Amino acid sequence: MNDNPTGSTRRYRAFSPARVWALATNTVTQLVRMKILFLLLLFVVIVVAAAFAFPTRSPDQQLKLLKDVVFGALQIFSIVMAIAATALLLPRDVEDRTLYTILSKPVPRHEYLMGKLLGVLLLIGGGLLFMDIVFSGVLWLKQTLITAANIEALKAEQNDTPENIAAVRAIIAHQGLTWSLHAGVWCVFLKAAVVASLALLMSCIATSTLFTILVSFCFTIAGQGQGLLRAFVFKAMPVTGKKICSFVLAVLIPDLGLFDQVQAVIEGNMIPLATLLKTTGFAATYVVLYAGVAHLIFSEKEL
């Protein structure tokens, strides 16, 4: 007999980071078993292939094109991982009856959703970290080889003065490996986190995995082109109406253009810290908003 039912209820409802972390790690294991990480091997192939492409371009153009190709692959893979991994979780747990086992224990539904989302973000973050390491290594190697080849060319032309060598190193280093590269990868992660939280919301609404994936991809495409939509559709509106419509649109569909900071990295420029913090704040707002709405829907859903 329970002498303290109030305390038991309180312990059940209390938020437990340990339970959330356990759910997150189990989610990562579950997704790894689904062979989601095979995308990483494909990424490595693309990076290595891009590193040896464009041999006839100038040194800075070779590095710029390498970054352009790799960042494009980074964004595609992270979005695909975010949508596919999140969309598969709830249906798979229902199919395996894992969901009922978890919720029958003292695990509130909000902790279940938080653990699942955190697990997806850990998988995406770990994958992007691996990609960042591979990308940095290949870019540094390419930069080193190009620098050595250009210095040898200066020596062959007998123009290897300290000024010319310094100029060559500066031009190549401008497009080479810098800390801004990692900031660009962080922005890619932020965009993927927003898409994952959106996919989580869609999976709580939908009953079909395919529907969740298709709708999430449609929202992602619409979010990526939201700037064009505001520029053309809302162009004739008065200023106040334009601001209201833009705000409503940005809430319903995430403005993924806010996270497109990688172009600055591709051009060899630095991402200001203020911009990076602002972008992180936007991502956190979207994730909390979509996860909160997902919880409201999931808490009322009959399982």
159-196 pLDDT, tens digit each: 778 787 888 788 888 888 888 889 999 999 999 999 99
**pLDDT score recorded for residue 187:** 93
Cα–Cα distance between 200 and 115 in angstroms, integer? 12
Q: Summarize the confidence of residues 80-90 as an average pLDDT.
A: 85
Is 51 inside any structural domain? yes
Q: Which residues of 108-119 are buried (b: 16+ CB within 10 A; e: fewer)?
A: bbbbbbbbbbbb
Q: What pTM did the predictor assign?
A: 0.85
- Identify whether 4 is part of a domain: no
What pLDDT sits at residue 7? Answer: 45
Residue 30 located in a structural domain:
yes
Contact criterion met (CB below 8 Å) for 223 and 253: yes
pLDDT tens-place string over residues 95-117? 777 777 777 777 788 888 899 99
Task: Specify if 238 maps to a domain.
Answer: yes
Give the pLDDT of residue 185: 92
Q: Which domain holds residue 73?
A: 19-299
Non-local CB neighbours of 287 within 8 Å, separated by 6+ positions: 117, 193, 194, 197
Task: Give how many domains the chain has, as a whole number.
Answer: 1
Instruction: Indicate whether 2 belongs to any domain.
Output: no
> Average pLDDT of 127-143?
88
Q: What's the residue count for the chain?
A: 303
Q: What is the pLDDT of residue 5?
A: 45
Helix pair 59-95, 179-205: axis angle to 10 deg: 30
Contact yes or no for 140/157 (Cβ under 8 A): no
3 part of a folded domain? no
What are residue 135's phi and psi, to 5 degrees? -60, -45
Tokens of 258: 């806010």
- How many angstroms separate the CA atoms of 193 and 259, rounded? 11
Q: What are the distances in angstroms from CA 68 to CA 77, 119, 204, 263, 266?
A: 14, 29, 35, 8, 6
